[in-house]
Amino acid sequence: MKLKQREKLLFIGDSITDCERQRPVGEGLFSPYGKGYVAVVDGLLQSAYPELGIRVVNMGISGNTVRDLEARWQTDVLDQKPDWLSIMIGTNDVWRQFDQPYITESHVYLDEYKRKLDRLVETTKPQVKGIVLMTPFYLEPNRSDAMRATMDLYGEAVKSIAEKHGTAFVDTQAEFDRVLEHLYPAAIAWDRVHPSMIGHVTLARAFLRGIGFDR
């Protein structure tokens, strides 16, 4: 596995990462990681690799776009001094274009998204041991659906940034597409965005494979 003894793993993202995590920093006692994939990842890491003592921190905030990540990057990422950083952002960057079509200032279009995410990765990479980039996703099997097609473009941007900087890459949409061959979207997420536990376990499994979890 890529993570080594006593390393600190920080997750940052939007509501899918947040999942009611503890404030101001998502670690400690009493369900600090929330109710989503970060908690699943922590549980599996601690149970499978108890000898490593890996420290997990959840810094997701509901509603965030890549603009919001950029604004809080110093305090919520760099000042936390993680060894490993996982980034999953883009859902709201895309979603606001569809559920708030006339509030254009809330839209984060692809060029801005790619530029800001690339800059965050570029400036952070020298300060950590590793970065995991996870794509945003939309739980719609019809790839010609407008929001699904747009989300796929943002996922492709994440992949290109991962390839450019040599980071770990997790294609969450591909993982969900596999599940969606057998389950209707509403069984995984009532709004096709916020996953049930089925979805969060899918995310956790994809992330763990991305870091070489082998137990």
Exactly one of 15, 18, 42, 93 is catalytic; which is it? 15
Which residue among the candidates 42, 93, 194, 200 is catalytic per the annotation?
194
Are the C-beta atoms of residues 59 and 10 closer than 8 Å to each other? Answer: yes
**79 a catalytic residue:** no
Q: Which two tokens stand for residue 115?
A: 């530029």
Annotated active-site residue 182? The verdict is no
- Active-site residue, from 31, 99, 160, 191: 191
**DSSP H or E segment with residue 207:** helix 197-210
As a whole number of angstroms, the distance between CA 159 and CA 134 comes to 9
What does the buried/exposed string (b/e) look like for 71-100 if buried means 16 or more CB atoms within 10 Å of the residue's CB? eebeebbeebebbbbbbbbbbbbbbbbeee
Verify whether residue 14 is a known catalytic residue. Answer: no
Instruction: Enumerate the active-site residues.
Output: 15, 191, 194
